[in-house]
Amino acid sequence: MTDVPMMSGPAPSARSGKGKGPVWLKLGVTVVVLGILLWTLDVSALPGLIAGADVRLLGLLLASLFVERVFAAYRWWVLLRPNAPGLPFAPVLRISFISNYLGAFMPGGVGIDMLRVWGLSRHASDLPLALSSIVVERIFGLAGMFALIPVGLLMAPVGLPREVEILLMLAAGGLVLASIALYLQSVRRLARRLLLAVKPLHRLNDALGGITGKLDAYARVPWTLVYSALLGCVNQLLRAVSFVIGGWALGLSIDPGLLVAIVPIAILVALLPISFGGLGPREATFVGLLGVAGVAPAGAFALILVREALNLLTALPGAWLFFRHGASIKAAPAAAGDAFAGSLATHGADR
């Protein structure tokens, strides 16, 4: 991608010739679902809907997306501080923007998480710190989604199909059980056996003790966890607000409470490993659930397109940081936080 000098050691990449079957299967699901979705809506109405959008509200939408990015970086910084005291916020914000830029070339949010883990573990030689912070952040992010769904439904004029409500309750129960399992010694022993059974994962087994130690450290700072849980709810609310603003910009009549409930559901569907980066099922879920409230499929799909297009613009600061600072990191080592951000930038050149 660029001539930024790279540090020693291989960058994370997929092994050639392996796992292509599932990738092609997921890509097939994405293509089929998107194809069916486009076939069912009035594609000819999309240009008119988008062209008639309120430019001022689009600017407000873009600003809200930037706020969402900064807030997400702050959430991560809060979770890093118990195990990395003294780490300033500025480099964490920088690495978040850079990882979002590089993650734009990778499917799904998992690619962004991989880049954040890679950047921190390569510089600080602390894979447990990187993984534990991402795991806890994801748990509270999911918890925030489940917390907002009933709040949105209480505000919305219509409810969800009974089948959807049952699936959501099962998923919430699964999240609670998974969170508890992280602290069960029997589960940790099983994880060690599984990692030892797979040779490429031996390095993760070596780091497992450190990861569990970092997780245990979080249990000793309960108020940090409570604060992080609240931040997770606010972060999901900010995401829903961006859809509300987008709906206003397009002149769509969508109840804000309904969006507060539906947006987390669509994101949860995107996390299922059945498609390419969640594309297809996420859009179909969003359009289908809004259809229950009487929103035309073309309008719901136009809202997705507009928000995603503006969301790509929020990656531009990360692109500037990547090309501006990447080449100088290795030649002039800075403070720990700055070098941590530079590690991600230099390894991004492998792409």
214 exposure class (CB count in 10 Å sphere: 0-12, 13-18, 19+): buried
Tokens of 172: 């919430």
Give me Rg for the CA atoms of the chain: 21
Integer Cα distance of 11 and 349 in angstroms: 9
Please state the φ and ψ torsions of residue 73, each to the nearest 5 degrees.
-65, -40
Burial state string for 66-101 with b = 16 or more CB within 10 A and e = fewer than 16: eebbeebbbbbbbbbbbbbeebebebbbbbbbbbbb
* Residue 337 structural domain: 40-160+227-349
Whether residue 346 has pLDDT greater than 70: no
Residue 294 lies inside a defined structural domain of this protein: yes
User: Which of the residue ranges 11-15, 124-128, 328-332 has the most confident prediction, judged by mean pLDDT?
Assistant: 124-128
Contacts of 285 (CB under 8 A, 6+ apart): 265, 266, 269
Task: Check: CB of residue 199 under 8 Å from CB of residue 111.
Answer: no
Residue 234 lies inside a defined structural domain of this protein: yes
Residue 190 lies inside a defined structural domain of this protein: no
Tokens of 335: 């403070």
Portion of the chain with pLDDT greater than 90, in percent: 25
Max CA distance (Å), the chain: 59
Residue 284 lies inside a defined structural domain of this protein: yes
Integer Cα distance of 25 and 111 in angstroms: 19
User: How much is the average pLDDT of 131-156?
Assistant: 79
Residue 53 lies inside a defined structural domain of this protein: yes
Residue 134 lies inside a defined structural domain of this protein: yes
Contacts of 118 (CB under 8 A, 6+ apart): 11, 12, 130, 343, 344, 347
pLDDT of residue 304: 95
Tokens of 194: 């599984």
Q: Per-residue pLDDT tens for 272-316? A: 888 887 888 899 999 998 887 788 999 999 999 999 999 999 999
> Token match 């690495």: residue?
95
Whether residue 114 has pLDDT greater than 80: no
pLDDT band at 66, cuts 50/70/90? very high
pLDDT of residue 108: 54
What is the four-CA torsion angle of 40, 45, 51, 57, rounded to 10 degrees?
-60
* DSSP 8-state symbol, 53: S
Helix, strand, coil share of the chain (percent; to 5): 75, 0, 25
pLDDT of residue 7: 32
- Which of 45-49, 70-74, 109-113 shows the lowest per-residue confidence on average (mean pLDDT)? 109-113
Integer Cα distance of 149 and 168 in angstroms: 9
Whether residue 62 has pLDDT greater than 90: yes
Residue 71 lies inside a defined structural domain of this protein: yes
Residue 256 lies inside a defined structural domain of this protein: yes
For the chain, the domain total comes to 1
